Every structure is written in C-alpha cells, then in structure tokens.
Amino acid sequence: MHLAILNWRDPWQQTAGGAEAFAYEVARGFVERGDTVDFLTSREPGQPRRELRDGIRWLRRGGRWSVYPAVLAHLIRVRLCGPAYDFVIDCQNGIPFFSPLALSRRRTGLALVVHHVHDEQFGTHFSRPLAALGRWLEGPAARRVYRRHQAVAVSESTIAAMRTRLRWTGPIVLVPNGVTREGFPASSLTPALTLALRPAPPSALPTAPPLAPPRLVAVGRLVRHKRLEHIVHLADDLAETWPGIEVHIVGRGPDEPRIRAAASLLRHAARVHIHGHLPAEAKNALVATSALHLSASQGEGWGLSVLEAAALGVPTVAYDVDGLRDAIRDGVTGWLVAPGATLADTVSSALKELDADPALASEMRSSCIAWAAEFDWDRTRNAMAQLAVRNSRSPGTRTIA
C-alpha cells in the first residue's frame, strides 16, 4: 500500500509527545510490511522539508497552524496528479486535518485517530473566542466531516468522551498504545521521545528505593494542561510529613519558565529539581530509583509515561481523569486521587503504605512490571495494519500476512 500519516508534529520536534510516538511506531510497522509511507507534518526551523528516515518519507509543510492548509493542499495535489494514496491515517491532536475534504472516497480509505478529547483544554491554552472555535472544530465540524469514516481511540476513556462530549455517532475501534522496548540511540532523541526508551528487564531493576527521604518524579512535556505546578508544590506541602522530600521534573516545553518561577517561590525550593531533557540512561535511572511517578494532567489519551514508569517497577499517582484512569490500575499499579482528596493527600498516603509494608511495595513493583508487559507496539502496529487492509480502496490489499 501507499499510505499517508498526518500528524501536526514529528518525533524530533521540541514539543513532541505521546501522539508522535504512536504515529511513528505505526509508520514503522507499515514500512516493515513493505508499504510506502509518507509522514505529513509541520516543520521547525532547521528541519529539512523532505527527508527519508527509518524507511519513512517525511514531508514537512508549514508551522503550528499553517500545517493544516499545507497538508490539505498536498492531498489535493496527490488526488489530482497521482498516484493516489490507498489509505490515510489522520491524527486529531485537538483539531483534525479534515482530510476527507481533499480525498477521493472511491480511491482512498481513511481512519481518524483520536488520542483524547481536548474540549476543556482549549480554554486552558486560548482566549474564549479561540477556545470556542477549537471546540466547534473538534466537535460538530469533525463529527460531520468524518461521519462516514472509521475512528480509532487509544483508550476506553477516549471512546466514552467521544460518544458523550463530542456526540460522535460513527464507528470507533480501540487500538491501545504500546510500551516501547527498543528505541533510537539516546543521542538522536528529543526530550519527549526519551519516554520511548528500552525499559530495564525485571532482573535488572533495583530493589524498592528507600523512603527516607522519598524521591518523586514526573516525566513529560512542560505544557500548561499537565499542571506541573501541582507537583512542584509538593515540596512544601509534604515537607513536614516527609522531611527532605525531593521532587524531580524531567522534560521540556513552553511552560518551563512558569514552572521554574513557581518553584523559585517555594520555602523548600532547593528540593525541586527541574532537569529539562535528560539522556536516556540518566532519565531511566532517576525514574527507577524514585518512590513514585506523578501526573497532574487535566486528561490524557492514555498516559505513556505512566506505563513506561511501570515498566521500571514504579507506581504512579495521578488525578482520576481520562486516560490516566485507564493507564493506572488503582491500588494495584498506582493510586488515583479520590473525589475530595488532594494530590498531596494521596501522595502522602501512598508513601505511608509503601513505607509501612515492604511486601506491599515489592508486590506493587511486580504488578507494575506485569501490567506494562501487556502493552506492546507490535500489537498496535498489527491492529492498525488490519484496519488499513479492511478500509483500503486498493483491490490489491485485501489480504494481509
């Protein structure tokens, strides 16, 4: 097949994250099957407009917003001049590409990938008029344009949110993320894709880290909806109960100056360590020797960093929100903040449980590793390949090895 994958960022861009990891892994799967893949995305300064990398043809057009009309223009040229794509994977990162407007339904199959519903997050990042426009594009506009096409969601939470909050009526299939066990050389990774590193095998994991003082770590992009200031403030909130507690933030993003400013105002600012990008080995060592991994996000499609921490035997504490409630088995591989409780309450309670019962701590680490082992990118790639075969318009792709 000749496929196109549409995603607003590529894995090497500064703000790349889980959506880029998903799109990249799926693209790799098609290339390994012998298919031809064009990855249409935006272009950061210094990036080439065209590049052949990992067997994938990277076609970079436009910036953060202009990528959308630029990609549509490319699809229209292909439709008019050929050769037509057999299948297109349109990744909706809040706003879809509206690719059906540029494709021939007779010649090109399509799947829309939705990681999570962004409706509330538009208000976090944009003014009220722009937030309203974003909700309309994500909801009524997308629902109409994609109504006859297959949608893919990465978690049950996303399916529920699409049905209730977006009132999606078309077909939706669940295709979960994997946990990457092989990745790029560390020197070629951006901060976000250091999350896609090879986890240590269980035999190589250290024993449960000491809780005196406890070390807490959060890994991910530094963007506003991740609400990392909630985690930074734990250095003060838990200082009396857990003297010497350490809070570590790993990752980069546009919200970094605000997070650093919030940390500088704390009474215990010296206990907050904002690392930015860490090399693979350093990042994994930090996570593996932490008592807990944390997330304060408003919502996720899934929570790749949660599973990657679990693969290192580290449980996560997070709010009970979309995606994170799927990635965490409450009380087994981590804890979800209960209604009426605070993040500080839940973290402190979790630390007390782990400290009081070493057997529980060991059992939870084993449960984390077993849970992460259930997710594999090969399954994700195979599911997307089967979907493409079923929905492709090319008569030569009706069977799959």
- pLDDT of 282 above 60: yes
**pLDDT number for residue 10:** 92
Scanning the structure block, which residue is given the tokens 């096409």? Answer: 149
Average pLDDT over residues 165-191: 68
Domains and CATH numbers, the chain: 2-178+376-397 (3.40.50.2000), 189-373 (3.40.50.2000)
Which residue type occupies 103?
L
13-66 per-position pLDDT tens digit: 877 878 898 999 999 999 999 999 999 999 999 999 999 999 999 999 998 889
Which residues, at least 6 apart from 201, have a Cβ–Cβ distance to it below 8 Å?
none
Which of 113-127, 206-220, 336-350, 381-395 has the least mean pLDDT? 206-220
- pLDDT of 261 above 90: yes
**pLDDT number for residue 88:** 97
The HSE-up count of residue 74 (CA atoms within 13 Å, CB side) is 22
**pLDDT number for residue 181:** 53
Do the Cβ atoms of 307 and 314 come closer than 8 Å? no
Six-digit token pair at 209? 């880290």
**pLDDT number for residue 291:** 95
Six-digit token pair at 102? 């540029």
Q: Which residue has the higher pLDDT, 399 or 130?
A: 130
**pLDDT number for residue 79:** 92
Average pLDDT over residues 214-239: 93
329-361 per-position pLDDT tens digit: 999 999 999 999 999 999 999 999 999 999 999
Which residue type occupies 212?
A
Six-digit token pair at 85? 């794509």
Cα separation, 290 vs 339, in Å, equals 26
Q: What are phi and psi of 67, to 5 degrees?
A: -60, -30
- pLDDT of 196 above 80: no
Residue 394 banded pLDDT, cuts 50, 70, 90: low
Which residue type occupies 78?
V
